[in-house]
Structure 1
Amino acid sequence: MSIDTSKSEIVSFFKDKNVFITGASGFLGRLLVEKLLRVCEVKKLYILVRTKKGTSPRERLQSIFQVQVMDKLRSLKPDFMDSIELIEGDCSLPDLGIKAEARAILTEKINVVFHGAATVNFEEPLKKATAINVCGTKDVAKLCHEMKHLTAFVHVSTAFCHCPRREIKEMFYDAPLTCDNLMKLTEALNDEQLAKISPTIMAEWPNTYAFTKAIAEDAIKTYATGLPVSVFRPAIVVSTLRDPIEGWIDNLYGPSGIIAGCGAGLIRVVRVDPNVRSELVPADLCVNGLMAAAYKTSLLGPTNDIPIFNFTPSKENPQTFAEFYQRTLKVGNVMPPTQAIWYLTLTEIASPFWYIIFSFFIHTLPAFLIDAVLVILQKKPKALKIYRKIHKFLEVLAYFATQQWDFQSTNLQALLNGLNTTDRKLFDFDMKKLDWDEMAYANSRGIRKFIMKEDESNIPAGIRKMFYLHILHRVVQLIAFSLVVWLTVSVLSPALLTLIQ
């Protein structure tokens, strides 16, 4: 059903605006670019793109639009590329690596800025994470001060940047270091020296991503004061719910990686507290919130009291990890992937001790047996290597899946309540109304389609394969149970009797 955009205040705000975007090649960045071009009559989008792995900025700019999520835009506005301007640069370089000529264009023309560029690698060396996440944010803020017609600057943070706190309000918090001190420290020391002192520097922060995003907020507080600026903190972003297409996703971060691994039959046990709330948010609702935040920021104007918006699931409509995985497994049984190597099953364990025990028997031991067979066949063993990577990935996620936070969202609710009827439909980000069953279906279907590259025409074949894998799974369980009984009766029982006598 089409919505009349003539009464949209957000569409009206973006009309004929020049928008500068960092991080446009990322997951959220692509969706933001798509919606701005498809729904809003922006004048130009100026997109910062760097060279990466030998691919030029121009080639990378083209690749942003060579995905299925852009199909709707292409059909509605075939000439949309006329509204795109490439800005060559790199957030890890001084002054964003932007040449003087391009910088002059930005300072003269830009009205709205979305700063979403960041390294989201949890294990990024501190020097690189600081260069991109902290120095880049500082340089974007300095650039914004030079812009003559700036009406809104939105910095994309994360709800977990202050994760050592159990209650996270929509406010700035002090970090262990100021942005300037961290930048000086990382400039003075090399990676090896920083690796030795990182645990001390980062204190209670679990990884360099969350830590440097916390310091980046200090950069906003220090260098963006007096600008029309706001901070938007999304929780764990998963696939789109339905806009512009259902279930679109292009990465394996967080729970999406677990779902894909579970669907493939590789991940069968995870360290998760089933009763903890899963702080998941759909990507399209996140983008809607970002755009609404930009509009609200323009209304507030230049400020020393920078608003922060926590975009997290509603306390009135929560979902635990147990409920999330139950819904996901339900969808997986309806449309299992044909590339699965084992039956679709997942055991959630909160205890570190029991997780180690279960992962040894369910993951490591089978991997060892597979590698032994490969060696006998004179082939290269690889199963244990794969599971070492999987366990490392799962351990990183365990921090966020075994703890619970209380996020305040007063500002976000005020932002939502301030939208008119048209914008509530066109830019919906109401997490109270979210149907978690619909979200699980969209997310699981999207991972199958866009990540695992499985066409829905092979669903019947996937169901047949899963039927036989289920039988094999039960046979193995029966054999394992029989071995435990035999061991108990034949070996352990006589030994215990001997000790008693």
Structure 2
Amino acid sequence: MSSIQDFYRDQTIFLTGATGFLGKLILEKLLRTCAVQKVYILVRPKHDKTLQQRFHSIFDSPCFDLLRSSEPDFGKRVSLLSGDCSQRFLGLSEEARRLIKEEVTCIIHAAANVRFDTDLRTAVYTNVRSVKDLLELLGEVEKLRAFVYVSTAFSHCFRRTVAEEFYKVDDKPDKLLQMVEIMDDRMLNVMTPHILGDWPNTYVYTKALAEELIRAHKQTFPVVVVRPAIVTSTITEPLPGWIENFHGLVGVILGVSLGVLRSLQLRQDVEARMVPADLVVNNILAAAWAIQKSEGGDSIPIYNFTGCSGRLLTWGGLIKEFKRYMYVYPLSKTVWYPFVQTSSYKLVHQVRVFFFHTLFSYFVDCMLFMARKRPMAVEKYRKINKLVDVLGYFTVRSWNFQNDNVQALWKKMSEDDRKMFNFDMRDVDWSKYSENSILGGRLYLMNDSLDNVSKSKKKMYFLAIIHYVFIALMVYVLYRLLSPVVQMFL
């Protein structure tokens, strides 16, 4: 075994967020490469599924296929704990808390509400109170060797330079929790913009508050914070291009591929801070190992996992790469010819949204209404526009992320560990990665078989003809309408 594998051998892990994209990959990597004794995972009850159904549905994911081929009964090493990060003490029963206190040796808190448009109450309960309660619980964990908190590189995104250090937050998490508990929804919604201040959304704001809790907490146990940038499809493990949700950047790319998203607010010369999910997982697991190798001290190590400046794709380069492969592997469900325009100016973007999204959505709904079908385009485009608006903050700005700790961790690792837990982004083949991401989105999100590629290309050519004929007609109509006005002034 390598040093990191040896660290995890026979350990009992408590993992939150195992039902999510990143959490599944952490769980898969631990079970496949590390001889862990047991992994306790937190599963939230749902009204439409029992806990056991949700538990088993986790392992139906394609990301467990490689593990399943080598260890068919790997599920025996995974135990279910009923809980909910939005509830007090994560909704854990007394028995579950006793198991954690007596058996667990390593805790990885990867659960979070990652939606940018979440209301403040939900975001605070899930992203802040859960950390507060976990910190309280940690003091009673008898065999704790490491606690890893997965934050975000954008927790202090209003700063142009983000070092691997804590930044003090003026708002006190405890006072905010009290405020959230006593205010009704209407009052809290009114107060939210004033509470957020410099933060653009509730997600990054509550992540900053969670870091403040960790900073202010007296360090009596080994704690480490990992701050990944925009987490995207896997690069190699457990399979290339795997993705599971439509949130964030992947949803935008698929929107462009489907032809429904035609305007983006971004600066083409700004680096796209994307980090493949499997490399994030490796950085998280290595960070827990490294806390055991540290020389002590009062500081809590922070890792800004944001890629290497100068070796990342720009947003313009990213759009170019994805355009190339979305024409090679067109989606069978494409509704219009993929055609997207970009601008760093919000006003220009909003004008395009009005013509390309809003007017188009009302036209589609009128057609659906006349066909006696349920109108849906206006509501769909409202959600699309909201997603693009919240992402605009991050696609027109650039940051100087310092990552000395990430580099030092890489140097500290042995050659075996670098191969097994690789998170080096200096030599990423972004063209190949873009191709795999397009394929992954097609296969794992759209359930669109590659057998349909030939048929989809014919549909793409047909849509291209309609698109350019439509553009030509629009130009002609505008010319006919405006030419008399122009002649009046000549």
| 8 A contact 1:121–1:209 mirrored in 2 | yes
Distance 1:43 1:376 in 2: 61
Comparing 232-241 and 184-193, the one that deviates more:
184-193
How far residue 163 of structure 1 moved from its aligned partner, in angstroms, is 0.8
1:483 and 2:477 correspond: yes
TM-score, L = length of structure 2: 0.97
Deviations 1:42-100 (A, max 9, x none): 00001111212442332221111111111111111111111011112222222222222
Which of 356, 374, 377 pairs up with 2:371? 377
Residue 254 of structure 2 corresponds to which residue in structure 1? 260
In the alignment, is residue 127 of structure 1 matched against residue 149 of structure 2? no
Q: Deviations over 1:400-446 (max 9, x none)?
A: 11111111101111111111111111111111111111211111110
Q: Does 1:154 align with 2:148?
A: yes
Are 1:27 and 1:250, in contact at CA under 8 Å, matched by a contact in 2? yes
Q: 1:222 Cα shift? A: 2.4
* Partner amino acid, structure 2, of 1:415: L
- The amino acid of 2:167's aligned partner reads Y
Q: 2:100 matched to which residue of 1?
A: 106
Are 2:412 and 1:415 aligned? no
Aligned-partner residue type, residue 396 of structure 1: V
- AA aligned to 2:377 is A
Q: Which residue of 2 aligns with 1:493?
A: 486
The match for 1:341 is 335
Letter in 2 for 1:410: D
- The residue matched to 2:108 in structure 1 has which SS? strand
- Matched with 1:352 is 346
Q: 1:187 to 1:303 in 2, by over 3 A?
A: farther
Q: Distance in 2 between matches of 1:446 and 1:45?
A: 28
Q: Which amino acid aligns with 1:399?
A: Y
Question: What TM-score do the two structures reach when normalised by structure 1?
Answer: 0.95
Paired AA for residue 55 in structure 1: K
Counterpart of 1:19 in structure 2 is 13
| Inter-partner Cα distance in structure 1 for 2:268 and 2:63 | 33
Contact residue 274 and residue 307 of structure 2 kept, 8 A:
yes
SS at match of 1:146: coil
**1:330 maps to what in 2?**
324
* Counterpart Cα distance in 2 of 1:205 and 1:394: 17
**Aligned residue pairs, count:** 490
Contact 2:131 2:210 in 1 (8 A): yes
- For each residue in 1:190-221, what CA deviation from the matched residue of structure 2 results, as whole angstroms up to 9, or x when unmatched? 22221111111111111111100100001111
One-letter identity of the residue aligned with 2:334:
A
Please say if 1:116 is aligned against 2:80.
no
Residue of structure 2 equivalent to 1:244: 238
2:306 is matched with 312
Shift of residue 302, structure 1, vs aligned partner: 6.6
Work out the CA distance in 1 between the residues paired with 2:47 and 2:408.
Answer: 43
Q: Is the 8 A contact 2:115 2:247 kept in 1?
A: no
Q: Relative to structure 1, is the Cα distance of residues 357 and 208 closer, same or farther in structure 2, using a 3 angstrom cutoff?
A: same
CA distance in structure 2 between the aligned counterparts of 1:382 and 1:253, rounded to whole angstroms: 20
Corresponding residue for 2:65?
71
Matched, 1:234 2:228: yes
Structure 1: gaps of 5 or more residues: 1-5
- The corresponding residue for 2:201 is 207
Query: What is the CA–CA distance in structure 2 between the aligned matches of 1:440 and 1:275, rounded to whole Å?
Result: 18
Q: CA deviation at 1:496?
A: 2.1
Matched, 1:444 2:438: yes
Q: How big is the alpha-carbon RMSD for the aligned residues of Structure 1 and Structure 2?
A: 1.4
Given residue 209 of structure 1, which amino acid in structure 2 is its aligned partner?
Answer: Y
Does residue 1:455 correspond to 2:449, yes or no?
yes
Task: Specify the SS of the correspondent of 1:201.
Answer: helix
Structure 1 position 115, deviation (Å):
0.4
Moved more, 476-485 or 18-27: 476-485
Separation in structure 2 between the aligned mates of residue 84 and residue 387 of structure 1, nearest angstrom: 41
1:41-60 → structure 2 map (5 Å cutoff) = 41-60=35-54
Q: CA contact under 8 A between 1:227 and 1:301: conserved in structure 2? A: no
Structure 2 counterpart SS, 1:20:
strand
Does structure 2 retain, via aligned residues, the 8 Å contact 1:229–1:302? no
Shift of residue 480, structure 1, vs aligned partner: 1.6
Shift of 1:113: 0.7
Instruction: Return the letter of the residue paired with 1:242.
Output: T
What is the one-letter code of the residue matched to 1:148? Answer: E
Q: Distance in 1 between matches of 2:71 and 2:156?
A: 41
Partner of 2:136: 142
Aligned to 2:159: 165
Instruction: State, as a whole percentage, how many aligned pairs show the same letter.
Output: 38
User: Residue by residue, what CA displacement relative to the aligned partner does 1:375-424 show, whole Å, maximum 9, x if unpaired?
Assistant: 33344332222212211111111111111111110111111111111111
Residue in 2 that maps onto 1:3: none
| Deviation of 1:30 (Å) | 0.1
Deviations 1:131-167 (A, max 9, x none): 1110101111221211111111100000111111111
